[in-house]
């Protein structure tokens, strides 16, 4: 089972339950999963579900969106946001991760995600490219403050 199918199954599972409250702790208790750091099979889809909910609340209401994701890995956010985007440009330096994302998109019939093999420090958007959203939180821990500011200046 690909991570896309696994996530979709658990996303549906999480949405269809009454936990007594909306707190992550109550949902984690119900599933027998701690929110962070356990390594359980449910941890990745569980954490992704909550991260995605928070990200979606921050997105502009205008649809469809053009999204740039830097440090996309296997494309879990790109794939999850594809339904509300006209185009997603997903950049990562790992060919193995990108191949997983490409295969998951193919399996799901997603055609609006473009995967680019490059370092986030080296990738330059095409002249005239305009994005409604630039997402790169999953890679920030590997970058210095100066590198983050350099990226933001380059793509604004």
- pLDDT tens for each residue of 30-45: 444 444 455 555 566 7
Q: For the chain, what percentages of helix, strand and coil (3-state, to nearest 5) are there?
A: 50, 15, 35
- pLDDT tens for each residue of 53-64: 887 887 778 888
Q: Identify the pLDDT of residue 142.
A: 85
How many angstroms separate the CA atoms of 27 and 33, rounded? 8
Q: Identify the pLDDT of residue 43.
A: 61
- pLDDT tens for each residue of 107-123: 889 999 999 999 988 88
pTM (2 d.p.) = 0.68
Residues near 81 by Cβ (< 8 Å), separated by ≥ 6?
52, 55, 56, 65, 67, 88
The 3-class secondary structure across 10-75, one letter per residue, is HHHHHHCCCCCCCCHHHHHHHHCCCCCCCCCCCHHHHHHHHHHHHHHHHCCCCCCEEEEEECCCCC
Using omega within 30 degrees of 0 as the cis cutoff, is the peptide bond preceding 121 cis?
no
In the sheet that holds 133-135, the strands lie side by side as 113-117, 85-92, 65-70, 133-135
82 pLDDT more than 60: yes
Mind listing the domains of the chain with CATH numbers? 1-58 (no CATH), 63-156 (3.40.50.150)
pLDDT confidence band for 15 (50 / 70 / 90): low
Q: Identify the pLDDT of residue 86.
A: 93
């Amino acid at each position: 089972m690909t991570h896309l199918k696994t996530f979709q199954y658990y996303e549906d599972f999480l949405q269809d339950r009454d936990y007594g409250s909306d707190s992550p702790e109550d949902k984690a208790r119900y599933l027998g999963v701690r929110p962070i750091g356990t390594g359980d099979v449910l941890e990745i889809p569980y954490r992704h579900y909550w991260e995605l909910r928070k990200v979606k609340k921050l997105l502009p209401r205008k649809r469809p969106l053009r999204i740039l994701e830097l440090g996309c890995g296997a494309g879990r956010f790109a794939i999850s946001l594809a339904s509300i985007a006209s185009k997603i440009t997903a950049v990562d330096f790992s060919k193995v991760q990108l191949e997983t994302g490409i295969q998951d998109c193919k399996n799901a019939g997603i055609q609006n995600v473009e995967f680019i093999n490059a370092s986030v420090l080296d990738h330059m958007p095409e002249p005239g490219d305009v994005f409604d959203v630039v997402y790169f939180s999953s890679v920030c821990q590997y970058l210095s403050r100066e590198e983050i500011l350099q990226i933001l200046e380059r793509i604004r």
